[in-house]
Structure 1
Amino acid sequence: MEGIPHPIPRTVEEVFNDFRGRRGGLIKALTTDVEKFFQKCDPEKENLCLYGLPNETWEVNLPVEEVPPELPEPALGINFARDGMQEKDWLSLVAVHSDSWLLSVAFYFGARFGFGKSERKRLFQMINDLPTVFEVVTGSVNQAKEDAPNNNSSKSKSNVKMSRQPEPQPRGVKMSPAKEEEVSGGKEEEEEDEQGATLCGACGDNYANDEFWICCDVCERWFHGKCVKITPAKAEHIKQYKCPGCSNKKPRV
Structure 2
Amino acid sequence: MEGTPHPVSRTPEEVFNDFKGRRAGLVKALTTDVDKFYQMCDPDKENLCLYGLPNETWEVNLPVEEVPPELPEPALGINFARDGMQEKDWLSLVAVHSDSWLLAVAFYFGARFGFGKAERKRLFQMINDLPTVFEVVTGNVKQPKDNSGAQNNSSKSKSSGKTSRQSESQPKGVKMSPPPKEENESGGEEEEEEDEQGATLCGACGDNYANDEFWICCDICERWFHGKCVKITPAKAEHIKQYKCPSCSNKRARV
Asked if the contact 2:21–2:56 (Cα under 8 Å) also holds between the matched residues in 1, the reply is yes
Taking the TM superposition and a 5 Å limit, the aligned residue runs for 1:159-178 are 165-166=155-156, 171-172=161-162, 173-176=172-175, 178=177
CA offset at residue 238 of structure 1? 0.7
Shift of the 84–20 alpha-carbon distance from structure 1 to 2, 3 Å rule, reads same
CA distances 1:230-251 after superposition (whole Å, capped 9, x unpaired): 1222112111111122223442
RMSD, aligned α-carbons: 3.1
The number of equivalent residue pairs is 237
Q: Are 2:161 and 2:243, in contact at CA under 8 Å, matched by a contact in 1?
A: no
1:136-178 per-residue CA deviation (whole Å, 9 max, x = no partner) reads 11111117xxxxxxxxxxx534779969845699554413174
Partner of 2:112: 112
Indicate conservation of the 8 Å contact 1:216/1:242, yes or no: yes
Q: 1:79 Cα shift?
A: 0.6
TM-superposed CA distance for 1:135, in Å, is 1.1
- Counting only pairs closer than 5 Å after superposition, residues 1-253 of structure 1 correspond to structure 2 as 1-142=1-142, 155-157=144-146, 165-166=155-156, 171-172=161-162, 173-176=172-175, 178=177, 181=179, 193=192, 197-249=199-251, 250-251=253-254
Give a deviation string over 1:70-124, Cα, whole Å, max 9, x none.
0000001111111111111111111110000000001111111211111111111
What is the one-letter code of the residue matched to 1:105? V
* Deviation, structure 1 residue 20: 0.8
Write out per-residue CA displacement over residues 40-73 of structure 1, whole angstroms, 9 at most, x where no aligned residue. Answer: 1001101110000000000000110010000000
The AA in structure 1 aligned to 2:4 is: I
Q: Secondary structure at the match of 2:199?
A: coil
Shift of 1:210: 1.9
Query: Are the equivalent residues in 1 in contact too, given 2:160–2:242 (CA < 8 A)?
Result: no
Cα distance in 1 between the residues matched to 2:20 and 2:152: 30
**Unaligned runs of at least 5 residues, structure 1:** 144-154
Deviation at 1:204, TM superposition (A): 0.7
Letter of the 1:236 partner, please give it: E
Say which is worse superposed, 110-119 or 193-202, in terms of deviation: 193-202
* Mean Cα deviation higher: 158-167 or 129-138: 158-167
How high is the TM-score relative to the length of structure 2? Answer: 0.82
Quote the Cα distance in structure 1 between the aligned partners of 2:119 and 2:250.
42
Structure-2 separation of matches of 1:216 and 1:189: 33
Among the aligned pairs, what percent are the same residue? 77
